[in-house]
Amino acid sequence: MSTRRRATPVPVLVAAALLLVGCATEEDPEPTGATGSAGSGTSSSAASSTTPGSEASGSDAGEDPNVPTFPSGVGSAEQAASADALVTVTDVRTGEHDGFDRVVFEVDGEGVPGWDVRYVDDPTQEGSGDPVDVAGAAVLQVLVSGVGYPFDTGVDPFVPDGPVPGPGAAVTEVVVGPTFEGVTQAFVGTAGESPFRVYLLEGPTRIVVEVAHPG
């Protein structure tokens, strides 16, 4: 039971009796950098299914040496932004995959963004310190660094119409907060404090947060 906490394209064509059916999936490029939460763990195979509007399935992250395995415990995942980073978050989306739920923070601009991802007991908004309501038994805070305001980056920001729904197995929802002093804040509601991993994809640039399914 969840609680409320304060705080390429590959076309496939089949023709039969003048009927043409096509479908396509996006193949993610190889990750260029990765970190995992504290602890050691075993590998987990990557995406096998997607839902409408979710991040498309990509390469088998569990078999790619550039992607960290899921640890046995939980801790934090941190990566500094490049010195020239000045990006804007342009999209946030979720997807359910084999053994984990995925949250993708897509950015556009200059340089490479950084991140600080960890579980928090009391979600509060950067700057104001106001508590933030997030649906879930636990809350994962995501800080994207190297961020500039739209008038500095020239990039239109992602403006959510309320929380971004999660698949539900591990991620319940994503609450995207404001940008403050070069950091965009978001909270990922989860079914519990499950292990997670974080890595970077390019073309376009995306910070990927994957939360293991409970049990």
Beta strands (DSSP E) in 41-98 are 76-79, 86-97
Q: Quote the mean pLDDT of the chain.
A: 79
Give the pTM: 0.75
We report the CATH number of the domain holding residue 13 as: 2.60.40.3500
Q: Are 24 and 68 in contact (CB under 8 A)?
A: no
Q: Provide the pairing of β-strand 138-145 with 134-135.
A: unpaired
Q: What is the pLDDT of residues 156-191, one digit of tens each?
A: 999 999 999 999 999 999 999 999 999 999 999 999
Containing structural domain, residue 129: 4-212
Confidence (pLDDT) at 127: 84
Mean pLDDT of 119-146: 95
Q: What is the pLDDT of residues 96-111, one digit of tens each?
A: 999 999 999 999 999 9
d(CA 209, CA 113): 14
| Percent of the chain residues topping a pLDDT of 90 | 63
Tally the domains of the chain.
1
Q: Nearest-CA neighbor of 145 among 119, 175, 174, 115? A: 115
- What residues have CB less than 8 Å from 52, skipping those under 6 apart? none
